[in-house]
């Protein structure tokens, strides 16, 4: 795996807490407006520019992309962001309660993605991909990094430990209590050399960001008769984390309405699963699904316990999709079906109860988290998981390090 230094645009030290924002895809418009209220330096003005256009209802309108570019330009002109004089690599740590992870920030050439060295496990949605393509192309930048995982490497771990002993360029605690620290590697060539031994990296979070970056590079390559492959648009912003430090939370589901009688639902469900009304809201092991229905938590276990060899079919999210959502509840394409919502595990099972008890949904499913081994197995097999199979915490902040193409 070849990683590359880049001349990052990054906030002035005394502005970093104001600038760094949650990623664009974990908040809706109203939440983004609230987070950025009274703070013109929040990077949400760049990644969710619709918050500055209250008169615009369509978040995919031309005006939103134009405003995003103007806001990024303002950050640069007003020296809210400054550019490094030399290409660098960075170490980025996040600490959430007792969990801490250390990622290496670099750019990757799109060829690493196109040739399969950067592997995916999730299908993208056309509308979201087109949205990110416009953001990248019109801003001429990667404003949010792709979250990548790699198998642990002793040499890289040693370099990380040595770098942690140096003075960071940023250190702050965000309003969600997550502690963020950034260092600059003193000798980036050591990191580049160590990564040459990494055969593959895996997209953990950021399938739309990576796919859109590669599409933009392809568009510009086709439009440039003097293309060499070394232009900045060929590279996209990434953060590499070792698998042992990553924390996957479940991605739970709520179904708004059954669209069949309760008796029919229970009958069809009991043909496939044993159902135990035990009040347990969190699965204790892989193979269990907890269901909140009619005010009671039930544990579901497949009656057919034959071991599934397929790395996708054996996932609990696949069992839920293939045995309940599709055949019983007629939710065949959860990406497009409006009868289902996905709830990140960070919100806990109380949020599932709240949605059902307040009649926002009729039924909720609590899942056992997908493991990193399962993610690697699916990606290595060239297969795709069902949508929303993994929820990673903590999330990477946007605006800390920006990769511009010019």
Residues 304 and 208 in one domain: no
Instruction: Specify which residues 171 forms β-bridges with.
Output: 181
Whether residue 377 lies inside any domain: the answer is no
Would the pLDDT of 308 be above 80?
no
Q: Output the pLDDT for position 392.
A: 94
Structure letter (DSSP) for residue 307: P
Q: Output the pLDDT for position 169.
A: 98
* Structural domain for 255, as ranges: 251-368
Would the pLDDT of 254 be above 80?
yes
Write out pLDDT tens, residues 11-40: 999 999 999 999 998 999 999 999 999 999
Residues 200 and 311 in one domain: no
Q: Which of 45, 42, 38 is nearest to 18 (CA)?
A: 42
Write out pLDDT tens, residues 205-215: 999 999 999 99
Whether residue 373 lies inside any domain: the answer is no
Contact 5, 88 (CB under 8 A): yes
Residues 236 and 303 in one domain: no
Would the pLDDT of 223 be above 80?
yes
What average pLDDT does range 357-371 have in this prediction?
Answer: 97
Would the pLDDT of 304 be above 90?
no
How many C-beta atoms surround the C-beta of residue 371 within 10 A?
14
Q: Output the pLDDT for position 336.
A: 86
What whole-number distance in Å separates Cα of residue 18 and Cα of residue 219? Answer: 34
Q: What is the 3-state secondary structure (H, E, C) of 378-405?
A: HHHCCCCCCCCCCEECCCCCECCCEEEC
Q: Give the whole-number percent of the chain exceeding pLDDT 90.
A: 95
Q: Output the pLDDT for position 225.
A: 95
Whether residue 375 lies inside any domain: the answer is no
Whether residue 203 lies inside any domain: the answer is yes
Q: What is the DSSP pairing of strand 288-293 with strand 251-255? A: unpaired
User: Alpha helices, DSSP H only, in 57-201?
Assistant: 62-77, 110-114, 126-139, 154-164, 188-195
Structure letter (DSSP) for residue 142: E
Whether residue 379 lies inside any domain: the answer is no
Residues 236 and 265 in one domain: no
Whether residue 125 lies inside any domain: the answer is yes
Structure letter (DSSP) for residue 406: -
Q: Output the pLDDT for position 125.
A: 85
User: Alpha helices, DSSP H only, in 96-235?
Assistant: 110-114, 126-139, 154-164, 188-195, 207-223
Contact 91, 103 (CB under 8 A): yes
Residues 202 and 168 in one domain: yes
Residues 241 and 163 in one domain: yes
Residues 213 and 258 in one domain: no
pTM of the model: 0.93
User: What sign for the dihedral angle of Cα 291, 288, 207, 176?
Assistant: positive
Residues 47 and 76 in one domain: yes
Q: Which of 129, 83, 170, 17 is nearest to 404 (CA)?
A: 83
User: Which residue reads 């009958």 in tokens?
Assistant: 267
Q: Which of 328, 334, 327, 314 is nearest to 254 (CA)?
A: 334
Residues 16 and 138 in one domain: yes
Tokens of 298: 């039930």
Whether residue 267 lies inside any domain: the answer is yes
The count of domains in the chain is 2
Write out pLDDT tens, residues 73-93: 999 999 999 999 999 999 999
Q: Which of 65, 74, 81, 72 is nearest to 135 (CA)?
A: 65
Instruction: Specify which residues 88 forms β-bridges with.
Output: 6
Residues 163 and 14 in one domain: yes
pLDDT interval class at 341 (50, 70, 90): very high
Residues 8 and 31 in one domain: yes
Would the pLDDT of 305 be above 80?
no
Contact 381, 70 (CB under 8 A): no
Q: Which of 114, 190, 192, 117 is nearest to 148 (CA)?
A: 117
């Amino acid at each position: 795996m070849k990683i590359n230094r880049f001349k990052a645009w990054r906030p002035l030290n005394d502005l970093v807490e104001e600038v760094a924002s949650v990623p664009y895809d974990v908040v809706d418009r109203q939440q983004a407006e609230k987070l950025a209220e009274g703070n013109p330096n929040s990077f949400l003005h760049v990644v969710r520019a619709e918050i500055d256009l209250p008169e615009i209802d369509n978040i995919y309108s031309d005006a939103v992309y134009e405003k995003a570019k103007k806001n990024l330009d303002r950050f640069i002109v007003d020296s809210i962001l400054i550019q490094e004089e030399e290409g660098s690599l960075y170490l980025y740590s996040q600490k959430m309660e007792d969990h801490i992870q250390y990622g290496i920030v670099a750019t990757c050439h799109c060829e690493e993605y196109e040739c399969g060295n950067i592997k995916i496990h999730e299908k993208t949605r056309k509308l979201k991909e087109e949205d990110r393509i416009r953001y990248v192309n019109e801003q001429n930048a990667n404003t949010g990094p792709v979250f990548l995982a790699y198998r642990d490497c002793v040499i890289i771990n040693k370099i990380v430990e040595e770098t942690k002993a140096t003075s960071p360029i940023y250190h702050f605690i965000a309003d969600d209590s997550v502690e963020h620290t950034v260092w600059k590697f003193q000798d980036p060539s050591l990191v580049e050399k160590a990564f040459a031994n990494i055969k593959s990296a895996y997209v953990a979070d950021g399938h739309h960001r990576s796919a859109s970056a590669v599409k933009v590079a392809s568009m510009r390559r086709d439009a440039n008769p003097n293309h060499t492959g070394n232009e900045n648009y060929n590279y996209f912003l990434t953060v590499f984390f070792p698998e042992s430090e990553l924390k996957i939370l479940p991605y739970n589901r709520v179904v708004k309405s059954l669209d069949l009688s309760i008796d029919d639902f229970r009958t069809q469900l009991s043909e496939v699963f044993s159902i135990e009304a035990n009040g347990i809201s969190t699965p204790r092991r892989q193979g269990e699904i907890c269901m909140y229905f009619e005010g009671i938590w039930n544990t579901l276990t497949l009656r057919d316990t034959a071991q599934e060899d397929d790395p996708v079919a054996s996932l609990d999210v696949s069992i839920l999709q293939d045995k309940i959502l599709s055949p019983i509840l007629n939710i065949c394409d959860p990406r497009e079906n409006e009868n289902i919502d996905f709830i990140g595990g960070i919100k806990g099972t109380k949020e599932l109860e709240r949605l059902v008890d307040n009649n926002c949904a009729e039924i909720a499913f609590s899942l056992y988290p997908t493991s990193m081994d399962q993610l690697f197995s699916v990606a290595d097999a060239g297969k795709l998981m069902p949508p929303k199979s993994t929820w990673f915490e903590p999330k990477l902040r946007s605006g800390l390090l920006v990769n511009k193409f010019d």
